Structure 1
């Protein structure tokens, strides 16, 4: 982390990224000394409530993070920053988002965990908008103008006060990842799901070992489960955090995991933890073999809504097709249960060299009605577009074993999955048939 002392001493000349988290109450004027080079500015974790009116003097600024500060209004000076494309003000106290605060090149906007009840119409006049993070606010409606943002691919609306998802939202041609749990939506209230038969597992039966990973919603540990009268078993235990994440509420994630039920390509839930000494919510899940690894990395600042793959991630046709079939089958199963995963991405898929795969991370999962209405079909076909993107990423990485005829058929399927008319896309049952 670069320090304010280094900045004031002139030791950071030419810097492209500056991170300052040191209890700031005012914007350090010395930052303007970096105007000829600074592209990424991270002022998260301070006590700021305003930015200078002439912030546009940072002519190369592309990315600004001001999360975990004290802002009550999104600063209008942002709108004058000609190159600014990513704006992050998570976990502030923002109630007001002026239209003038939205920069013309806006591509990625993060306003998670604030107090926003209304968004300006100007948001729909930012044609490059691709990713919109609004979970944990007080929104009762979305501006109708957003329908004009045809490049919008990901939107997080969880934990707001929305009573409906407008038809225009579900018809957006590029939308692929949608999260809306924790809203008083009729779809969620009317969803018909199987009764919860998940067994309870007492905390005293579990012995936690090393952590396996940590995400926004919780920490996963390897553990030993000693159930009475049974042999001990190696398992994974996820302890959920209570705070709102970029996707929504961790408790909504836990409920979606339970509602998903059992499937060969899902990480199966073994039980719900009861009796935690701090009353922390937790699930016991099957332990995944170490041969499984993440298919892709998270999107970067540059890729925005698209995963980043290692150059070494390559497949033969058999393993890639097995992977695609597995994920399509898991998605078909979820949709039949009245669940949209909401985050169908390579970075949420574990796989091995044989193409065996598991779809995980239900942080953005949402319940929906199980009828065959246009509304339900639209929600499901939005997820089909996400699968089309994934299928394209797999096709780009197949080195051998795929005939020209097979490739053409798969490319045709991908095109159908991603066509702009949402309801004309195939469902996952049809996709499974097409994949053979």
Structure 2
């Protein structure tokens, strides 16, 4: 059933007992028939329309956990959201929103997406939302984070790219569970010089089949000078991680490494002016290690239930990713999205490469750079733990490394160079 048919069925009363409702674009108001689902509705997607507010009695949807309203021109996050007793995930991306009232944040808030708005400040009460796990703020006008977030002990992922932060607060790098951070495009990010790269004329390419598509662009198979390559064409729009232009620069600055999908050159002369990169093409039997997080898992990847790993393959995957991340740190880059869903692997051998630089940021020198790198050590520890969960006989020394990487005091975690060295010793 498409979204238009869903709306018609809702109005006929055919959706009694529905737990999820995804309405079509173009709404000017929330259909009153939605409230007939008050006893069951858990996920509501309002589509992209012209909504500027929500019904004052929205809390009648007492089981509503997830609300998406991106692309509607809300001037502020609706205060009525704070009255909804079960609401834990909000998606208000690209709304032109300027204000986030304190009363708009639900008590059990877990995942808040406010990407690509005009927000300058966040209310201090956000630090009181103890379940907050994922905070998406890229593409706003935020100059300072509330100090109350220093108490956000469950915060695991934060996206701050393309704001107005002159500095990252010191408490941010001490949060015990933070594992994924992106802050490119802020004054706080160290300035870097553009990386020299080969220019690849569009006319020299034979562009073939679409291999995949993500938030920042589409990847095609292509032939360049007789060799098969991957061509990533960027969309140019703000993503949840930041601007694609920053992803391009990070991918070029990363240089070459066996466990990275390295850039071969920058595209020139696309007929529509699109920007693009040529990347190393992996063999067709390589696959993504896991799927991205779901609404329920929030910040944790989704693995195929049948995935089983022997210790040798688990160790090889972990070593490849750790070596890739250590290489990036050595080149002054934080990956920011070190995840299994950004890891491509060969099932037969466990060979793996780390991909996707959409959340990458430049690392400052000195203690701040070290502290940020220790955040990524936690992400590595989480990945190791997930690999161990897929092992029939988990290696005990690998479990000890997971514990070291995920300990709550970031300063006590090993560097990715130390992690890579430990994994190399285990696989010797």
Normalising by the smaller structure, the TM-score range is over 0.9
Match of 1:72 among 75, 78, 98: 75
For 1:287-316, what per-residue CA distance to the aligned partner results, in whole angstroms no more than 9, with x for missing partners?
Answer: 110121010001011000000100121111
For 1:214-240, what per-residue CA distance to the aligned partner results, in whole angstroms no more than 9, with x for missing partners?
Answer: 0000000001113xxxxx111110000
Moved more, 385-394 or 3-12: 3-12
Q: CA deviation at 1:396?
A: 1.1
Residue segments in structure 1 that go unaligned for 5+ positions in a row: 227-231
Does residue 327 (structure 1) correspond to residue 321 (structure 2)? The answer is: yes
Match of 1:210, SS? strand
Separation in 1 of the partners of 2:251 and 2:410? Answer: 26
| Partner residue, 1:135 | 138
Q: CA deviation at 1:4?
A: 2.2
Q: CA deviation at 1:156?
A: 0.3
| Partner residue, 2:152 | 149
Does residue 183 (structure 1) correspond to residue 186 (structure 2)? The answer is: yes
Match of 2:170 among 167, 175, 192: 167
Separation in 2 of the partners of 1:5 and 1:282? Answer: 42
| Partner residue, 2:91 | 88
Separation in 2 of the partners of 1:295 and 1:22? Answer: 34
For 1:110-147, what per-residue CA distance to the aligned partner results, in whole angstroms no more than 9, with x for missing partners?
Answer: 00011000000011010000000000100001000011
Q: CA deviation at 1:286?
A: 1.3
Separation in 2 of the partners of 1:429 and 1:225? Answer: 35
| Partner residue, 1:289 | 283
TM-score w.r.t. the length of structure 1 is 0.95
Does residue 357 (structure 1) correspond to residue 345 (structure 2)? The answer is: no
In the alignment, is the contact (CA less than 8 A) between 2:195 and 2:249 conserved in 1? Answer: no
For 1:241-286, what per-residue CA distance to the aligned partner results, in whole angstroms no more than 9, with x for missing partners?
Answer: 1110000001100100000000000011111111112221100111
Q: CA deviation at 1:428?
A: 1.2
Q: CA deviation at 1:344?
A: 0.2
Q: How does 1:24-423 map to 2 (within 5 A)?
A: 24-185=27-188, 187-189=189-191, 196-226=195-225, 232-353=226-347, 354-369=349-364, 371=365, 373-400=366-393, 407-423=395-411
Separation in 1 of the partners of 2:242 and 2:401? Answer: 32
For 1:203-223, what per-residue CA distance to the aligned partner results, in whole angstroms no more than 9, with x for missing partners?
Answer: 110111110000000000001
Moved more, 411-420 or 58-67: 411-420
TM-score w.r.t. the length of structure 2 is 0.96
Moved more, 3-12 or 339-348: 3-12
Q: CA deviation at 1:429?
A: 1.4
Match of 1:398, SS? coil
In the alignment, is the contact (CA less than 8 A) between 2:82 and 2:106 conserved in 1? Answer: yes
Residue segments in structure 2 that go unaligned for 5+ positions in a row: none
In the alignment, is the contact (CA less than 8 A) between 2:143 and 2:165 conserved in 1? Answer: yes
Separation in 1 of the partners of 2:270 and 2:417? Answer: 40
For 1:43-94, what per-residue CA distance to the aligned partner results, in whole angstroms no more than 9, with x for missing partners?
Answer: 0211111101110000110000000111111000000001000011011011
Separation in 1 of the partners of 2:219 and 2:168? Answer: 33
Separation in 2 of the partners of 1:344 and 1:117? Answer: 28
Does residue 426 (structure 1) correspond to residue 420 (structure 2)? The answer is: no
Separation in 1 of the partners of 2:25 and 2:331? Answer: 48
In the alignment, is the contact (CA less than 8 A) between 2:25 and 2:47 conserved in 1? Answer: no
In the alignment, is the contact (CA less than 8 A) between 2:27 and 2:47 conserved in 1? Answer: no
**1:267–1:22 distance in 2 versus 1, CA, 3 Å:** closer
Match of 1:258, SS? helix
Q: CA deviation at 1:423?
A: 1.3
Separation in 1 of the partners of 2:358 and 2:387? Answer: 24
Separation in 1 of the partners of 2:420 and 2:342? Answer: 20
Q: How many residues align?
A: 420
